[in-house]
Amino acid sequence: MSRALSELTLEELWQLFPIELAEHNPQWREWYAGQAAALSVLLGDEIRQIDHIGSTAVPGLLAKPIVDILVQVSQDCDLVSLKAKLLEAGWLLMAENSAYGELDLNQGYTPDGFAEQVFHLHVRRSGDWDELRFRDYLIAHPEAAAEYAALKRHLLRQYKYNRDAYTEAKTDFIRTCVKSARASARDSSEASA
């Protein structure tokens, strides 16, 4: 019998769930749409905005085959109740920062490895989130998306079994893109004023 995921060490989890990269799969958009519809029914009026984020949301981009979803909720949303609804619906809590109103959950991680469809759900209070700016920047700048894909391929060789290090090694690139996206938005805003 397999051990529960909660009983595994971080090193065992990294072995069971290594970094995998895949060419873009058009089905990722469909997987997102199905989950977005289910979340809309489950959470109803709590949702202010729901978006497909991450590399699977960028057409043509190499990505971990994990669909990231950003759900923004109102500032006064009862996160305890919302978390209970999500856990009851089969989502697993990965991280929680109640001071900032943030929850990170997943589906598709099993004691035997990844399921066919894997999701990361990021619940945040409504705001101006970098994840959306990064996604939109990569869509608008194919050369940046190609550079990001090359970076991910390089990092995979180094960090296949260390998700935290892999993520950290991408941070500077992501920050640079977000900074450019914010500057461009600011310039557009000033030009139209």
Task: Walk me through the domains of the chain, giving residue ranges and CATH numbers.
Answer: 5-192 (3.30.460.10)
pLDDT above 70 covers a percentage of the chain that reads 91
Say which residues have a Cβ less than 8 Å from residue 73's Cβ, sequence separation at least 6: 43, 46, 47, 48, 79, 82, 101, 123, 124, 125, 126
Burial level of 169, CB count in 10 A (0-12/13-18/19+)? middle
- Sheet containing strand 113-125, edge to edge, reads 47-53, 67-73, 113-125, 102-110, 92-97
* Least confident range of 6-10, 21-25, 174-178, 186-190: 6-10
DSSP-derived pairing of the beta strands 67-73 and 113-125? parallel
Q: pTM of the entire structure?
A: 0.90
CA 53 to chain centre: 6
Read off the pLDDT of residues 70-114 as tens digits, 9 standing for 90 and up. Answer: 999 998 999 999 999 999 999 988 889 877 889 999 998 888 888
Read off the pLDDT of residues 118-162 as tens digits, 9 standing for 90 and up. Answer: 999 999 999 989 999 999 999 999 999 999 999 999 999 999 999
Q: Are 68 and 49 within 8 A, CB to CB?
A: no
In one-letter notation, the amino acid at residue 143 is E
What mean pLDDT value characterizes the chain?
91
Q: What is the pLDDT of residue 186?
A: 79
